[in-house]
A and B are shown apart, each in its own frame.
Chain A
Amino acid sequence: DTAVSQTPKYLVTQMGNDKSIKCEQNLGHDTMYWYKQDSKKFLKIMFSYNNKELIINETVPNRFSPKSPDKAHLNLHINSLELGDSAVYFCASSGAGLDPYNEQFFGPGTRLTVL
C-alpha cells in the first residue's frame, strides 16, 4: 500500500491554464505539506496544513491555492500557469503534533511542465 500518493505523476499543460494536483496519505497523519523542487533539484516548502488548518504559507504567489478537504488529503490548485511553475511538486505528511522531529514521508512527486 502506498503511504503518500500523488496524482497525476506527469502533467504537461499550456501557459495560462489552471491545473490541480492531488495528494492522499493513508498513514493517519495530521500534518501535510507541499514542496517544490526546481530544475536544479532545490527543494523548498510551499505550504503545510495541520488538521485541515493552514499553518505554513511560504510567500507563494496567490495563484497557488492548497485545499485540504480532510486530514488525509491535501490538493494543490494552480491558476494561470506560468513557465516558471515548471517543477516537480512533492507532497509529504508527518505524524501527530507539530514537533519538528516527526519524520516527513514524501510522495513520488508530480512533474509539471508548462509550455
Chain B
Amino acid sequence: AQSVTQLGSHVSVSEGALVLLRCNYSSSVPPYLFWYVQYPNQGLQLLLKYTTGATLVKGINGFEAEFKKSETSFHLTKPSAHMSDAAEYFCAVTGSGGYNKLIFGAGTRLAVHP
C-alpha cells in the first residue's frame, strides 16, 4: 500500500521568508508525486507534479519540489513567501493498481504573517 506523511499540520512563516513544507511517501512501485493547494472554501489546484525525469520540479506561483528517492521525500519550497500563499497544502502519491487513485497526506496549513 502507498501512503503519504506530511510533517507539521501547521507552518507559520513571515512574509519574504523561505517556505518549506515536508512530505515523505511510502511506495512499493516508482511513485508519481503531486502537490496540491487549497485556498479557503475552494477546490484543490495542482501546484506541481513529479512523474519521471528531472528530480527538481518547478510549479506555479514560484513553488518547487525535489524528489529524493533515497530519502523517500518530496518537500515543497518557495524562496520568498507572499501573503497570498496562505492556504492548505496537500502532498499526494498515486495509489497502487493504477487508475490514477490519489492518496493524500493529511495536509499542512501555511500561515504567512507580515
Contacts and interface: CB of A to CB of B under 8 A. Distances in A.
A binds B: yes
Contacts of A98: 98-100
A39 B106 CA distance: 11
A3 B90 CA distance: 21
Given A41-B88, A42-B106, A42-B107, A99 B100 contact: yes
A103 B46 contact: yes
Interface stretch (B16-24, B37-45, B61-69, B76-84): B37-45
A56 B44 CA distance: 20
B99 A103 contact: no
A104 B102 contact: yes
Interface string A25-42: 000000100000000111
Contacts of B109: 41
Nearest to B103: A45
B90 A55 contact: no
Interface string A54-87: 0110000000000000000000000000000000
18 contacts: A31-B100, A41-B109, A43-B107, A45-B101, A45-B102, A55-B99, A90-B44, A98-B99, A98-B100, A99-B98, A100-B32, A100-B101, A104-B100, A104-B102, A106-B43, A108-B41, A108-B42, A108-B43
Given A56-B99, A103-B46, 20 more contacts: A41-B107, A41-B109, A42-B104, A42-B107, A43-B104, A45-B95, A50-B99, A55-B99, A94-B100, A98-B98, A98-B100, A100-B94, A100-B99, A100-B101, A101-B49, A101-B51, A101-B94, A103-B49, A104-B100, A109-B41
Interface of A: 4, 31, 40-45, 48, 50, 55-56, 90, 92, 94, 98-109
